[in-house]
């Protein structure tokens, strides 16, 4: 059976082994989940825990729509008839398979169905970009826009002044085990990480298993870590290289194990985000050589 951790007041989280899944207790039975977990690896154990505690999920507020955060939205909505609240971007892409394909554009439609099909559901409450709070079952939750990890990522603060940071911040353990952390728009993600310093909460929950009273040191370490990974990618580009050249070099040099087309696409997608960041910061430029698109390190002159 999964463990429940009491964080503060009515705010708790479920330790799934992979994530801390927060929930807010409305009364003895009704709860509001902040994210719904991963369908493939977590649904059965979550079901067992919720049933054993006689919990009824009244609502889900999602930090973002990744499969390990919104994977059970459709399932719980069916089981409990619960309300789903999401940012407008996530609500849009999760409204149909073809909308999901916009986001997962590197996949065929059947590929999107196979890997992300469980992310299709109706969102009841759309959290707009400028919104600073949302009322769910008459309870006010604070909202902070933290785009970057996904275009509409949000952090959610419970009435106990506990902030759920989703994937806007990662723990030191995750940093130690990650070669290329995910950031859809890294430049925005770095700004969002800095903006977390404006929060003044009693406790902070990080999705991939962190609970802390103070995030100052961790915010700075995160920023250095992500920027450091971008620099490592930059240093690989010793000559004009195609995306495949860079990918091949990194996979070998960093011992990244790729044994499926799915994993290849995941790594390729993440690498693209870092290259886009390097393009945005002017560290690399694009050229066409013999008909192929290649990345080159920018000269000082190019950067001016």
Q: Which is nearer to Zn ion, 38 or 55 (CB)?
A: 38
Tell me the two tokens of residue 287: 């050229």
Taking the C-alpha atoms of 210, 55, 140 and 194 in order, what is their torsion angle to the nearest 10 degrees?
10
State the residues that interact with Zn ion by CB under 5 A.
Answer: 66, 167
Tell me the two tokens of residue 144: 């902070």
Q: Which is nearer to Zn ion, 8 or 182 (CB)?
A: 182
**Residue 82: CB minimum distance to Zn ion, A:** 21
Q: How far is CA 133 from the centre of its chain?
A: 20
Q: Which residues contact 156 (CB under 8 A, 6 or more apart)?
A: 34, 61, 63, 141, 142, 143, 144, 163, 164, 166
**Residue 167: CB minimum distance to Zn ion, A:** 4
**Residue 140: CB minimum distance to Zn ion, A:** 25
Angle of the 261-280 helix axis to the 243-253 helix axis, nearest 10: 110
**Element of type H or E holding 23:** strand 20-25
Q: Which is nearer to Zn ion, 68 or 278 (CB)?
A: 68
**Residue 85: CB minimum distance to Zn ion, A:** 17
**Residue 166: CB minimum distance to Zn ion, A:** 7
Q: Which is nearer to Zn ion, 90 or 283 (CB)?
A: 90
Q: Which is nearer to Zn ion, 66 or 294 (CB)?
A: 66
**Residue 273: CB minimum distance to Zn ion, A:** 12
Q: Which is nearer to Zn ion, 167 or 189 (CB)?
A: 167
Count the Cβ atoms, other than its own, within 10 Å of residue 105. Answer: 9
Count the Cβ atoms, other than its own, within 10 Å of residue 293. Answer: 11
**Residue 3: CB minimum distance to Zn ion, A:** 22
Q: Residue 203's beta-bridge partner residues?
A: 162
For residue 281, count CB atoms less than 10 angstroms from its CB and return exposed for 0-12, middle for 13-18, buried for 19 or more.
Answer: middle
Tell me the two tokens of residue 79: 């089981």
Whole-angstrom distance, CA of residue 103 vs CA of residue 116: 11
**Residue 93: CB minimum distance to Zn ion, A:** 13
Beta 162-164 vs 203-206: how paired, if at all? parallel
Whole-angstrom distance, CA of residue 288 vs CA of residue 256: 28
Q: Which is nearer to Zn ion, 66 or 101 (CB)?
A: 66
Q: Which is nearer to Zn ion, 10 or 192 (CB)?
A: 192
Tell me the two tokens of residue 13: 């989280």
Q: CB–CB of 38/18 below 8 Å?
A: yes
Whole-angstrom distance, CA of residue 77 vs CA of residue 40: 17
């Amino acid at each position: 059976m999964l463990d429940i951790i009491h964080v503060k007041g009515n705010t708790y989280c479920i330790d799934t082994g992979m994530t801390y899944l927060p929930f807010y207790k409305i009364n003895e039975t009704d709860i509001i989940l902040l994210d719904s977990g991963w369908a493939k690896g977590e649904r059965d154990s979550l079901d067992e825990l919720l049933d054993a505690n006689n919990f009824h999920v009244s609502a889900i507020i999602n930090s973002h729509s990744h499969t390990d955060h919104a994977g059970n939205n459709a399932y719980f909505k069916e089981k409990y008839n619960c309300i789903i609240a999401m940012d407008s971007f996530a609500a849009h892409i999760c409204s149909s398979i073809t909308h999901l394909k916009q986001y997962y554009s590197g996949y065929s439609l059947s590929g999107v169905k196979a890997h992300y099909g469980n992310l299709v559901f109706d969102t009841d409450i759309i959290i707009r970009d400028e919104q600073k709070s949302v009322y769910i079952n008459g309870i006010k939750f604070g909202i902070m826009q933290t785009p970057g990890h996904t275009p509409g990522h949000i952090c959610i603060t419970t009435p106990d002044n506990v902030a759920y940071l989703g994937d806007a911040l990662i723990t030191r353990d995750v940093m130690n085990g990650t070669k290329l952390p995910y950031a859809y728009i890294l430049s925005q993600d770095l700004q969002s990480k800095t903006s977390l310093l404006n929060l003044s909460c009693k406790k902070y929950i990080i999705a991939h298993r962190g609970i802390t009273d103070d995030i100052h040191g961790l915010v700075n370490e995160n920023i250095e870590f992500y920027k450091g990974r971008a620099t490592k990618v930059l240093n690989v580009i010793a000559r004009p290289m195609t995306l495949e050249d860079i990918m091949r070099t990194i996979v070998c040099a960093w011992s990244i194990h790729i044994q499926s087309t799915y994993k290849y696409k995941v790594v390729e997608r993440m690498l693209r985000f870092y290259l886009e960041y390097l393009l945005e910061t002017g560290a690399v430029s694009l050229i066409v050589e013999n008909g192929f698109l290649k990345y080159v390190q920018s000269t000082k002159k190019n950067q001016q």
